[in-house]
A = this chain, B = another copy of it.
Amino acid sequence: MRYIVRTTIKDIAKALDVNIGTVSRALNDKPGVSAELRKKIMRKATELSYRPNGHARGLVTQRTESIGLLSGAETSTFLSNPFYAGIFAGIEAETREHNYALMFASATTESSIFDGRLPKFIVEHRVDGLLIVGAVDEAIIRLLNESHRAFVLVDYHLPGEDLETVVTNNLRGGRSATEHLLSLGHRHIAFVGGTPLDRGNFHERLQGYRDALESAGIAYREELVRGGQIVGGHDAALDLLDAHPEITGIVACNDANALAAIGALRTRSLKVPEDVSVIGFDDIPAAQESWPSLSTMRVDKIAMGRKAAQRLLQKLEEGEASAPHQIVFPAELIVRSSTGAPRK
């Protein structure tokens, strides 16, 4: 479906009676063109509203000047997660500022590593590099790595592998969240939500929770920990509260689960924070808008996205020489109204 004949460097060359090589050099700011002629060419280019043809250029330069964002989760899940949405926004901003185009696709686990199921833009090399956000199939990452494709993992890492990553300091964050409750005087603190809980981000946050308890001289009680999906956060909290009425504080694996837990407390007519304090993780927009507003560990999602994109673009410039960085973003304690002193 093409109606319009686009102008090419050939047209410009013809109009000015110069050679296409000269036009190409002028347009690309390359040396070897007199200032005068260069100006004339530029003027003619805008006059004819010339736009470079990405295909032709890519064919010779072997570069696309676009990068791909690969989601580890199903698209709707990915986008409806405010954490990932923030990272996406950061990536988009940085990408645009560097005049790269951005492609999007999701690589769900079912899609396996068979090429046909991998996003088209990866298979067909239509991007110079990849930003992989969230947990994707290890096999895919290995495949990409072995075929020397440039990529950066965001909010995910393969323990023990020396890959380019941008992640949150979950361990310290989980610890800080717990310490906040401890400092308020809480002693019976539960941990809710998170799947999986035996590895990944939530595991690290849980580990931070354990560390904080230990440092405070409080025994870790496995029965005060309940994993589960977001909606399950509600049920998990109900279970816990019914079985362990001594609980006065809850550390949630993320804000969504924290909000679900607050819903559960409401079901039991328990007040937040008078009866039970709740702290989340991520600082999604809803944390501020909810009632009561949610104390949480803030992660600068935009900055993470931007940083990841920066690293990728740098990698693309430096080429193979570039040594992998592992960048860790801190989580900052934000105290709002869902946490307070424990009930007497």
Measured CB to CB, the residues of A under 8 A from B are 1-4, 6, 49, 51-56, 58-59, 62-66, 69, 74-76, 79-80, 82, 85-86, 88-89, 92-93, 96, 99-106, 115, 119-121, 123-126, 128-129, 147-148, 150, 231, 259-260, 263, 266, 285-286, 289, 291, 302, 315-316, 319-320
Contacts and interface: CB of A to CB of B under 8 A. Distances in A.
Count of identical protomers in the assembly: 2
Given A3-B320, A99-B120, A102-B105, 16 more contacts: A3-B148, A4-B147, A51-B124, A53-B125, A54-B125, A59-B59, A65-B120, A66-B126, A75-B88, A75-B93, A76-B85, A100-B120, A101-B119, A101-B120, A231-B289, A263-B291
A264 B285 CA distance: 18
B104 A103 contact: yes
Nearest to A86: B76
Given A1-B150, A1-B315, A80-B85, A102 B103 contact: yes
12 contacts: A1-B129, A3-B320, A6-B125, A51-B124, A74-B89, A76-B86, A92-B104, A92-B106, A96-B105, A101-B103, A101-B119, A101-B126
Contacts of A55: 54-56, 58-59, 64
Nearest to A318: B1
Given A51-B124, A59-B53, A125-B53, A320 B1 contact: yes
